[in-house]
Amino acid sequence: MSRFYIARNCAIGAAMALSLSLAWAADDLPKADTILDKYVDVTGGKAAYAQHHTEISKGSLSMAAMSMKGDLTTYRAEPDKSLTEIDLGGMGKSTEGSDGKVFWSKNSMMGPHVKEGPEKAQAELAAKFNAELNWRDLFKDVKTVGTDTVDGKACYKVQLTPADGPSMVQCYDKDSGLMVKMTMTAPTPMGDQTVESFPSDYRKEGDVLMPHKIKQVLGGMEIVISIDSVSFNTDIPADKFAVPDDIKALLNK
């Protein structure tokens, strides 16, 4: 038997072994729906999520690079109403919200702004109440795309593709089932930006386990959101989500 014949067959054998190895690795990954459903289970379960209809979160937002810190309050109500208020003291205030139809933002530097196109699509997705529970209604495709290590924790990477807008990738700790990282593309006035979010400090609020710290990295800048308190099913006046007059003025132009 010639050395060429032996070498050729060794190469074929190595290629087959590699293909089988890769196929086995792909098959060995849990399905995305299993990972996403596990997250719901380990953070409280479907029944716990389903009993929530409104949510008020209070905390702070800080940007160490700019020596900036402010108070943060978020109001949310099913199915897709939201209002986030950030008070940065001498740096001014920033708000953004939705009445379920109009998605908007405003701050002292940029003024009032109505979200349209990809920006609106992403805001619509973010405003969905109990998105963790209702992910099947929000994404047209989910799949496990590999593994990663985040802060020393081995995790599964799940790619989620909404009906409108770019896909995002979320990483779930293999052991705990908790989400430890999310990577997405965010449309901004400066163009599309990659945003990495790292939720941590999971603690119970009522019957649901929630992250109380979220580190975000955008354009090299680090933003840290800290949550001090969360209350569910508190009455929120309907006008809290009303479209502000200066936003209405933009809509009427």
| Residue 250, number of CB atoms within 10 A of its CB | 16
Place 42 in a pLDDT band, splitting at 50, 70 and 90: very high
* pLDDT the model gives residue 80: 96
CA distances (Å), 40 to each of 2, 35, 83, 131, 134, in order?
Answer: 60, 9, 24, 10, 10
Percent of the chain at pLDDT > 90 equals: 74
* pLDDT the model gives residue 190: 67
pLDDT at residue 13 tops 50: no
In order, the DSSP letters of 177-210 are: --EEEEEEEEEETTEEEEEEEEEEEEEEETTEEE
User: Residue 149 belongs to what H/E stretch?
Assistant: strand 139-150
Each residue's pLDDT tens digit, 158-211: 999 998 888 999 999 999 999 999 999 987 666 788 999 999 999 999 999 999
* pLDDT the model gives residue 65: 77
What is the dihedral sign for C-alpha 51, 208, 37, 194? positive
Which of the two residues, 192 and 16, has the higher pLDDT score? Answer: 192
pLDDT at residue 4 tops 60: no
What tokens does 83 get?
A: 């209002």
What is the dihedral sign for C-alpha 127, 130, 134, 135? positive
Highest-confidence range of 20-29, 116-125, 242-251, by mean pLDDT?
242-251
* pLDDT the model gives residue 101: 96
Contact call for residues 78 and 55 (beta carbons, < 8 A):
no
